[in-house]
Amino acid sequence: MAEVDPLSSWDMVLYASRVLLALVAIIPLLYYGLRIIGRRVTVSRSVNGHIEILDVLHLGGGNQLLLARIASRVLLLSVSKERTSLLWEGPEEEFELGASPTAEGPASDLRHWVERWRRGQRGDGQGDDG
């Protein structure tokens, strides 16, 4: 059998630094790569392009408001861990995205529904009951 020379302490430091450098480079690459792959696998996509999420408002505690366009309709949805509720629905023509809200029309209806939804989430008994 051939005799093996023992590693010196400098050889050990060199070997350990190569391993650490490889880990520092590989771990972030694995993390971001798996994150991107996971997003592509878990996100449901509209097959024909008729469903589009226009805006999301996170309200905390797993609650959020979603503004979605489905075909030619615009929906305001309340999403929580337990359920999803329709707050407002209207034709796309009535809801002008990017326009400043006015006191009349769908914007006031939206404000009304959002306020009713918020009261219902606080549990003051004046929430969405109809």
pLDDT in tens, 100-111: 444 455 566 777
Q: How far apart are CA 22 and CA 13, in angstroms?
A: 14
By CB atoms closer than 10 A (0-12, 13-18, 19+), residue 29 is exposed
Domain regions of the chain by residue span: 9-43, 51-122
- DSSP run (H or E) holding 70: strand 63-70
> pLDDT tens, 59-77?
888 889 888 888 888 899 9
80 DSSP 8-state letter: -
pLDDT in tens, 2-53: 677 777 888 889 999 999 999 999 999 999 888 888 766 655 566 677 788 8
Model confidence, pTM: 0.43
